[in-house]
Amino acid sequence: MENNIKRMSMNVENCAKIIAYIAVAIAVLIFFIFGHDFKLDVVWNDISYGFVISMILFHLFDKWVWRIFPKCLTHKSYIGGQWHGVIEFGVNSIPKEKREVKMNIKQTFSTTKIELKSNESFSYSICSSHNSNDSSITEEILYTYINQPHSNFLANSPMHIGTCSLRYSKEDGKFFLEGNYWTNRLTQGHIKCTKDGK
């Protein structure tokens, strides 16, 4: 979980740097295009306008623009939407059980939020990172989550925290997420999901 939080912090830091660089560039352009005098209040206004414009541009990119050509612009795929699949879980040598699950992913350029539902519980991510680079075809979604069982399953499956590592892949026109997870109850499991409508 600690490594996951560090990765998420790095993503936030990178986004903040991008916004700051764009803001300064816009402020400089405003200053020279309009021929402003080099006075503190004028420069401050130009910087303020620069930050406002950069925030608007980044919001548009974060929400929508990057999804037009995600791999070209960011080296990571758009995985948002509905997924369905199966999890297998158990403790050490105890025979593993299977459950059908439904996954909902909400994704922007800077965030990935994951919800997972079964007939016994509901889980949601509290931090995540989507890792990819231009030299690798492998993409990893790493997230830490809280699992909240339905009331009639609390006795055998109390609320817990876990971490999941999923690999994203495409085969024969279908999209898959597959990987393993671990919990603070010392349970572990395997999950494989297919994107709906594909």
AA identity, residue 101: V
Residues 94 and 84 sit within 8 Å (Cβ to Cβ): no
Closest CA to 141 of 93, 185, 88, 191: 191
pLDDT in 10s for each residue of the chain, 198 residues: 555 555 555 566 666 777 788 888 888 888 888 888 888 888 888 888 888 998 899 889 899 888 887 777 777 899 999 999 999 987 765 667 899 999 999 999 889 999 999 999 999 999 998 887 655 567 899 999 999 999 888 888 889 999 999 999 988 889 999 999 999 988 899 999 999 975
Which residues fall within 8 angstroms of residue 63, CB to CB, at 6 or more apart? 108, 109
State the angle between helix axes of 2-33 and 40-63 in degrees (0 to 180), rounded to the nearest 10: 130
Backbone angles phi, psi at 174, to 5 degrees: -110, 150
